[in-house]
Amino acid sequence: MPEDYTPTYVEQGKAFERDTDYIPDRITSGARDPGDHHNKSDGSGREYWPVEPGRYRLIVARACPWANRAIIVRSLLGLEDVISMGQCGPTHDSRSWTFDLDPGGVDPVLGYERLQQAYFARFPDYPKGITVPAMVDVSTKAVVTNDFPWITHDFFFEWREFHRPDAPDLWPAECREEMEEVMRRIYTEVNNGVYRCGFAGSQEAYDDAFERLFAALDWLEERLAERRFLMGEDITEADVRLFTTLARFDPVYHGHFKTNRSKLVELPHLWRYARELYAIPAFGDSIDFDQIKAHYYRVHTDLNPSGIVPDGPDLSGWTTAV
């Protein structure tokens, strides 16, 4: 594929469909190296890798909401010393995310210029998108998984031995069933819903996505009128998953993706909630609004062919007291 190839996100006449065909492998406690005949197997075709401090490198981009989840959970659980983290820059071409934030444009641990190199180290003809977050085996410099919902799930359940003593219970047993239902709706209607608006290929597809998105936001606004966080008084994985979309809503989605019925700042309970989370270092420190805007407005050339990044909106409200 040529270097100057411009990816297309909008298919005329069609609704947006996200490709969710990720590398399904997981890193779990008690697993052995892939290929070991004693290793676990569940018949799914995935391979299981062992939890080992220092073995893996989490590759992220602060611009990406899916990678943003992993940054937050790693910090909340105190896994910084056992799972290193490499950061790609905010933009990418059709080939890959790149390490242009590092000196010389090279990740200091992997020695790579492109995340693509880690994928090709394991799958030389890897045919799908090179996505973040990705867990990479440092010893082989090969990708292990990019299945982002399982990455944060396993940070909590499989790396517990290495959590900091006061780490939050992100998957509380007493409300887990309800939380998973809440997260499913957040994913389909909000996390992915903004993309279905932005990448709609017809007016009908856009109208449907728009209606569904704001129905879900209204539901969340009502839910947060009666509770501090989504599941009550304590932070859970559900809050991590919603926050990453809320943080991008006014800077990007409201204009770039045409989700313009309401701004986040006009939804009082969601805005209070988002600011309270932002004040927590694991959340607020993960956000770089400049990188977020640079990514969306420069990469999506079919939506913004000029590549101009808007100067607004005013984001000072994020640091005002709740």
Binding residue ranges for glutathione: 97
Name 281's Cβ contacts closer than 8 Å, sequence gap at least 6.
75
CA distance 39 to 32: 5
Q: Which has the closest alpha carbon to 269: 226, 225, 318, 319?
A: 225
State which H helix or E strand residue 219 sits in.
helix 203-224
What DSSP designation does 174 have?
Answer: G
Q: Confirm if 72 and 47 have CB atoms less than 8 A apart.
A: no
CA distance 189 to 213: 5
Q: Which residues participate in catalysis according to the annotation?
A: 64, 195
Q: Confirm if 200 and 9 have CB atoms less than 8 A apart.
A: no
**What residue type is 157 in one-letter code?**
F
Strand runs labelled E in the chain? 26-28, 48-50, 56-60, 84-87, 134-137, 142-145
The binding site comprises 97
